[in-house]
Structure 1
Amino acid sequence: MIRNGTGKTLVTYGLLLAIAFVMLLPLLWLVSTSLKAPTEDIFQYPPQLLPQQPTLENYAQVWQLAPFGRYLINSTIVAVLTVTLNLLFCSLAAYPLARLSFRGRDWILTSIIATILIPFQIVMIPLYVLTVQLGLRNSYLGLIFPAIASAFGIFLLRQAFLGVPKELEEAARIDGCSELGLWWHVMLPAIRPALITLAIFVFIGSWSDFLWPLIVLDPGSDYYTLPLGVASLEGVFSPDWRIIAAGSVLSILPILLLFAFLQRYIVPSEAGSGVKG
């Protein structure tokens, strides 16, 4: 007979597997549609998850009939720059809010956190006007301008800085480390898991952003990112959802690869383990 503890474990794992399957079903259906041959009916009932004649022809057509390579390069440039600037500015803002004492610090922190409650749609028009006045329309800088820092990133890194032992800071000061050197050589390596976590969130948000590029770029611009490129496929290949599905799979594949590569770093670690020598 199965013990009660073992039975509960099996039920728990079974429930988790069922939930995981339900969550992954849309992705599996998207991949299945992208692999189906033109002769297969993607709207048949009952639906068929596994394609009868798997083919990569749809992926080849995406690359041949649309500048998908250009979309991929644009999204990569925008995402990498956004992540880099976000980590830089958020960490520079979070460090004094966590480790320095000055008048108005708590008020500044509260004001920053309060901006999380403001929807992007409210500040969208002022941001667009400012972007136009700065001459940043139809450019990489215009695409990354609203996302070079975030209240969530500042708050996340501040909480991580608070967890760094004071002994590390005191030892660095005794060795004559400057404030900027303390931030760079001691604090940033100590909060590496938080930095990687923020990098993943920022990358996903930048990579999948559709509204702001749609506003700041002209139709058919050379700076089109993948979300806009995939949306344009519907107009070019409106009756062929296989090609649209193939473009969608190509657009989310880098996110899955990034998360698979970096997820092992998102674990609690000793604060001193990452300090540079």
Structure 2
Amino acid sequence: MSLSPLRIGSALARHAALLPTTLFALIPFIWMLSLSVKPPTEIFGSPFALIPQHWGAYENYSKALHAAPLARFLLNGAVVCLAILVLQILFCAPCAYALAKLKFPGRGLLFGLVLVGLLLPHQVLALPLFILCYKLGILDSYAALILPFIVSPFGIFLLRQSFKSIPDDIVQAARLDGLSELAIVWRIMVPMALPAVIAFSIFSVVAHWNDLFWPSIVIKSRDLMPPSLGAAAFRNVEAGSDFGPLMAGAVLIVLPLLLAFILAQRWFIEGLASSSLK
């Protein structure tokens, strides 16, 4: 079936508007990748060129991996992000189910508090959370990086919206089959809302993988630094003005997030779309 000239013109106009925006967003990543493969003499050389005349990729990436414990930083980030994500889903899914499918006094008020939590930036709560971690004696530990984030207002909101799109008849049928409310959450609701869970997982991992503010407050030991804080320490202590290894380290830190998003892109978009239906 042939497309009409009007539809073709509309599609070309959309792409013409999106392409410059996409290129503008990609400029920092392209610049970072270019610097990571350049030798020091070409980083600030003239004329400007994205592709180096002499490749320094091996030296830069080798120095990034050996001059600082980058592998340890990446492992710390994986442990912290995975622990936060698992605990967030364990807490957020039952809360979202209660707000979406159960009727009880104060449900609207509780949902309003969730919306208020969405409006509060994490920096506002940094001081009381720091005092709490100090009182519990968990500063400079994995627990200090994980515990303040196990309840996510955004996770509750996103999963609630997705759960509301699931017909109530399915929930009633599960109850007639003898399933408890928690069993309904984990055996019915979460599998049916898997795209929304994946979308939230990407948001959560990206946010905590890139978080520099909170780790810089509670972490002092180098062996516990996540990637963002480790990159800052690498810049200040090891790399100095040697931007090639610094950019190589940044590429290695960003690469896991990029791969995860590419692999989960379809479910990510589907999850956001399904959560916006209700």
Q: After TM superposition, is the score higher than 0.5?
A: yes
Aligned positions of 1:32-181 closer than 5 A: 32-40=34-42, 42-54=43-55, 55-181=57-183
Q: Write the deviation string for residues 232-273 of structure 1: whole angstroms up to 9, x where unpaired.
A: 12222222111111111111111001101111223548x9xx
Please name the residue that 1:9 is paired with. Answer: 11
Number of corresponding residues = 267
State whether residues 95 and 161 of structure 1, in contact with CA within 8 Å, keep that contact through their aligned partners in structure 2: yes
In 2, Cα distance between equivalents of 1:192 and 1:137:
34
Please name the residue that 1:197 is paired with. Answer: 199
State whether residues 222 and 230 of structure 2, in contact with CA within 8 Å, keep that contact through their aligned partners in structure 1: no
State whether residues 87 and 198 of structure 1, in contact with CA within 8 Å, keep that contact through their aligned partners in structure 2: no
**How many angstroms does 1:102 deviate by?**
0.8
State whether residues 138 and 221 of structure 1, in contact with CA within 8 Å, keep that contact through their aligned partners in structure 2: no
> Structure 1: which 5+ runs fail to align?
272-277
In 2, Cα distance between equivalents of 1:123 and 1:162:
30
Aligned positions of 1:236-275 closer than 5 A: 236-268=238-270
Aligned residues with identical type, % of pairs: 39
> Structure 2 length normalisation: TM-score?
0.90
Which amino acid is 1:231 matched to? A
Which amino acid is 1:100 matched to? L
Q: Write the deviation string for residues 204-224 of structure 1: whole angstroms up to 9, x where unpaired.
A: 011001111110011x43101
Which amino acid is 1:232 matched to? A
Q: Are positions 1:232 and 2:233 aligned together?
A: yes
**How many angstroms does 1:69 deviate by?**
0.9
In 2, Cα distance between equivalents of 1:4 and 1:180:
52
Q: Write the deviation string for residues 39-83 of structure 1: whole angstroms up to 9, x where unpaired.
A: 32x123442111222222101111111111111110000011111
In 1, Cα distance between equivalents of 2:13 and 2:102:
50
Q: Write the deviation string for residues 60-117 of structure 1: whole angstroms up to 9, x where unpaired.
A: 1111111111111100000111111111111121111111111111111111211222
State whether residues 37 and 60 of structure 2, in contact with CA within 8 Å, keep that contact through their aligned partners in structure 1: yes
Which has the higher mean CA deviation after the structures are superposed, 4-13 or 47-56? 4-13
> Structure 2: which 5+ runs fail to align?
none
**How many angstroms does 1:143 deviate by?**
0.5
**How many angstroms does 1:4 deviate by?**
4.9
Structure with the higher helix share, 1 or 2: 2
Corresponding residue SS for 1:101? coil
